[in-house]
Structure 1
């Protein structure tokens, strides 16, 4: 668990450094120690892997659905044609 650090600024212009100032970090001092940075990068990598996996699964499932839907439509058309043939044969008797 990473503690949340939210600086309080009375004025939004406090976020913009003056020309002679270096930009101030919004993170507390020592927040990104080498150990913390490694852990953060590992966590980000895990998130990226999970997102990539979910995109892959969603894409695969979408393609499977489209294929099944298309096959079902072809099957439905074939069944309709067969019904029409049987109906015609029945009416012929």
Structure 2
């Protein structure tokens, strides 16, 4: 004889799975995120989300961080005044240096 599942237990398990999957999704940087306006703040925000900051530079009022996570390189462009993420660019392994067009 099978024991019936308690609907509250099923709801709790479903909610736990949803929250866990949201946590994974929230761990990635997205357009519009506020990472801060200083290099230290931005580095801290990115590393807390699991990124390794490989390079950091300031150019034309924008802060640019080259980061690595899970073997994928990405450039994150942040507005220097607001701290908001303006651009995310995944680096293509076959592309090499993107300035060599």
Report the TM-score, using the length of structure 1 for normalisation. Answer: 0.30
Greater Rg by CA: 1
More strand by share: 2
Larger RCO, structure (CA 8 Å, separation 6 or more): 2
More helix by share: 1
